[in-house]
Structure 1
Amino acid sequence: MKPPIVHSSSPVTLVGGGELAHDDLALALSHAATLVAADSGAQAALAAGHVPHAVIGDFDSLSADARAQIPQARLHEISEQDSTDFDKVLRHVAAPLCLGVGFLGARLDHQLAVMNTLVRRAERPCVLIGAHEVVFHAPPEIALDLGPEDVVSLFPLARVTGRSEGLEWPIEGLVMEPHGRIGTSNRARGPLRLEVDAPGLLVMVPRRALASVTRAFLVPGHARWPARAG
């Protein structure tokens, strides 16, 4: 396997070229100071006054003006068209956690492709920041400091089972799968603990829980999924 383009011992912010609220990038950078752009996400970074540490993508949507403002050594073009720019950037950044902005909203097909990548790159933990919630692929276990009545949605992209503490409707004994039972619009009763038996479950919690989610992924010895074969 090729070495990562970006290797960081602390969290990294990823910025894409999708919808970006005015405070999304600042929020992510307050938790993850190193900034990496996926293709045209570099334009959003520059517009906010930041020169990315690296820009990764096929550069089919990166303007010539933006390229001229970024040192050549920070531009990493990957020309293959078999993956999205989000996939390209996530698989080439090695960090304990990535926070992604500019990847949700806008086109639904792009969002679905991003969700697919979250699961396929399970060994690269990433939390996506949306307008109202944050989304991540559930690790083998995670504990979150949530408030009573916080909405917790669980959406399977594969057949999964697990256990929960602190949910209004526990998931133990349930089999969730994309064409069967799902777990949207559940509610926390307070602090939440989830255990999942296999990769494939997306978790959505309120945006205000970002700090708790970030802390949970950075706990020393935090359990992770191994890289998939192939």
Structure 2
Amino acid sequence: MTAATTTTTGWTIPAALRAERIKFTTLRSLWITPLVGLLLTVGFTTAVAATLGDKDESITSDPGVGIHYGLNFGQAALVCFAVLLFGQEFNTRMIGLSLTAVPQRGRLYGAKLALGAAVALAVGLLGTAGAFAGYAAFVPEAWDGPALVRSATAGVLYPVLLVVFCLGLTAALRNLTAAMGLLLPVVFLLSPLLSGVPVVRHAVQFLPDRAGQYALRYADDPQVAYGHWTGLLIMALWAAAATYGGLYRLRRHGM
């Protein structure tokens, strides 16, 4: 009876989660990339605060910019982690085996999203705490201002929303190379560069990474069309849309 039920309905949710956890712990690339992201986030923030904390007003006039400076580099590793978590199964054709083990595609997809979000949450918590501590060691003003709680909360949630967004987009594209080739240049290069171009800045500020990073700042920017918390909401909407798009594509084109 149990075997027949398992064959018909697929693995239980705990079993699907356990399978994803085993993949994460046994595949070196999956656990190294978020670890690199954490080290880059804390390391760059601390190094910049130590060397420029008393010289560069761009990282001290708005503590949120200095505290989360390292996240600009750490997020590249998080993008790689999210793309690898799902994309490598498409590129190696292992997605067919995964769907044989867990026929309910929504359950497989949910397990991957849950694992990715949990790892990103851990990186967000440790990275934000480490970045605040590293920055405050050289710039004591980090702990001043009413925006502290909001900036810290955004620092924890930003990696989670970024990973969920990238996972959803990877599932929708069903190709590791395409997802990596699209996400890394946009998040790491194109988006920051275009945000400084007046002609397109108004549109670029609504991209997920730009909106989410505005929530990290302490100060208001009169050129941004929304508030700090709204920026985080915009990023969450992008993540929700990508999640739905990934599920839609997976249900129709799993292999």
Normalising by the residue count of structure 2, what TM-score does the alignment of the two structures yield? 0.25
Higher relative contact order (CA 8 A, sep 6+): 2
Report which of the two has the higher share of strand.
1
Report which of the two has the higher share of helix.
2
Choose 1 or 2 for highest CA Rg.
2
